[in-house]
Chains A and B, each alone.
Chain A
Amino acid sequence: DAEITQSPRHKITETGRQVTLACHQTWNHNNMFWYRQDLGHGLRLIHYSYGVQDTNKGEVSDGYSVSRSNTEDLPLTLESAASSQTSVYFCASTPGTKSRTTDTQYFGPGTRLTVL
């Protein structure tokens, strides 16, 4: 069955280290999104991509980067992890074109990241 997976599911790292969170979907969806979820803030958009080599900054992009070299994957990199980036990270995808707003977003299971 088609799915969206994230790895690792749990990660503990130290301040200043580079961390990469993986997101992989097998639906062949064009659009992919990264969110972080924190108590009191709901889900906030970090980066998103409309296709290969088409990435954009979201609401809270500082300290994060993404690259899209194929349709299936959108890895999220924390260049130099900070304690403020301790959070739960969710990846999501949608089919169709970037302007179609009626698409359901399909979410991965999340990665819980702790930065010490």
Chain B
Amino acid sequence: SQQGEEDPQALSIQEGENATMNCSYKTSINNLQWYRQNSGRGLVHLILIRSNEREKHSGRLRVTLDTSKKSSSLLITASRAADTASYFCATDAYGNTGKLIFGQGTTLQVKP
């Protein structure tokens, strides 16, 4: 079964607006990662947040992690048309194995 449940499944916004995607998971984790996938391409790593961190920033990306609620959010500020992609959260729910469990993803469309 999938560890990550992402919400919403699809999101459509105008350029310049902020986009927020949420990820919930079921078991304890050491860290959570977010990846982006452009249409027809492989996944690209965006950011990693450890279980002892609550918030992390990278450029226009802001990730939060609430381990008590087993949830994370990815905020993209001042979105651009180039941000149009699918976004996946991934957790190391298999423990110290190096394996990740991916959520089903949120498809983001940013309209110019």
- For chain B, the bracket of interface size reads 20 to 34
Residues of B contacting A: mostly? loop
Please tell me if the beta carbons of B42 and A110 are within 8 angstroms of each other in the complex.
Answer: yes
Q: How distant is A52 from chain B, measured CB to nearest CB, in Å?
A: 16
- B57 interface contact, C-beta 8 A: no
Please tell me if the beta carbons of A42 and B99 are within 8 angstroms of each other in the complex.
Answer: no
- A43 interface contact, C-beta 8 A: yes
Please tell me if the beta carbons of A43 and B88 are within 8 angstroms of each other in the complex.
Answer: yes
- 0 or 1 for each of A13-40: is its CB under 8 Å from B? (1 = yes): 0000000000000000001010100001
Q: Which of A66-116 contact B (CB under 8 A)?
A: 90, 92, 94, 96-110
- B50 interface contact, C-beta 8 A: yes
Docked Cα-Cα span, A43 to B35, in Å, equals 12
Please tell me if the beta carbons of A99 and B43 are within 8 angstroms of each other in the complex.
Answer: no
9-residue interface stretch from B58-66, B67-75, B90-98? B90-98
Q: How distant is A105 from chain B, measured CB to nearest CB, in Å?
A: 6
Please tell me if the beta carbons of B45 and A45 are within 8 angstroms of each other in the complex.
Answer: no
Q: From B40, B95, B104, give the contact of A42 (CB < 8 A).
A: B104
Closest to A88 in B: B40
Docked Cα-Cα span, A108 to B43, in Å, equals 8
Q: How distant is A95 from chain B, measured CB to nearest CB, in Å?
A: 10
Please tell me if the beta carbons of B43 and A90 are within 8 angstroms of each other in the complex.
Answer: yes
Are A110 and B30 also in contact (CB < 8 A) when A33-B99, A43-B88 are?
no
B35 contacts across to A, CB distance below 8 A: 105
Please tell me if the beta carbons of B42 and A50 are within 8 angstroms of each other in the complex.
Answer: no
Please tell me if the beta carbons of B33 and A104 are within 8 angstroms of each other in the complex.
Answer: yes
- B97, B98, B102: residue with the most chain A Cβ atoms closer than 10 Å: B98
- 0 or 1 for each of B32-56: is its CB under 8 Å from A? (1 = yes): 0101000011111100101000000
What would 17 more interface pairs be, CB under 8 Å, given A102-B31, A104-B33? A42-B2, A42-B4, A42-B103, A43-B43, A45-B101, A96-B98, A98-B97, A99-B98, A100-B96, A101-B92, A101-B97, A104-B45, A104-B48, A105-B45, A107-B42, A110-B40, A110-B42
